[in-house]
């Protein structure tokens, strides 16, 4: 299976696809922007979680905004102070 392909086998789990996309995109971002490593001192660009919704599941822009807002709030409360 090629990572440059825009499709995956139907038997490939969503978790695996997300993990691959996060891994590939983080590697490329760190390679293209070396300063990111200093900014993300944990060495991780992405959070562990992700959200997936199926087609026809009434996903709205408002639902996505609420998810992002909640995630940002949780991240802000869990982020350690550096200084």
User: What pLDDT is recorded for position 80?
Assistant: 58
Q: How many CA atoms lie within 13 A of 24 on its CB side?
A: 10
Closest CA to 52 of 4, 19, 74: 19
pTM beyond cutoff 0.85: no
Confidence of residue 8 (pLDDT cuts 50, 70, 90): confident
pLDDT in tens, 16-39: 999 999 999 988 988 898 888 777
User: What pLDDT is recorded for position 83?
Assistant: 47
User: What pLDDT is recorded for position 6?
Assistant: 64
């Amino acid at each position: 299976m090629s990572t440059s392909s825009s499709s995956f086998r139907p038997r490939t789990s969503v978790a695996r696809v997300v993990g691959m996309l996060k891994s590939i995109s983080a590697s490329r971002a760190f390679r293209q922007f070396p300063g990111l490593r200093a900014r993300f001192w944990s060495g991780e660009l992405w959070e562990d979680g992700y959200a997936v919704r199926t087609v026809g599941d009434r996903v709205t822009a408002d639902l996505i905004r609420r998810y992002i807002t909640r995630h940002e709030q949780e991240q802000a409360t869990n982020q350690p102070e550096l200084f």
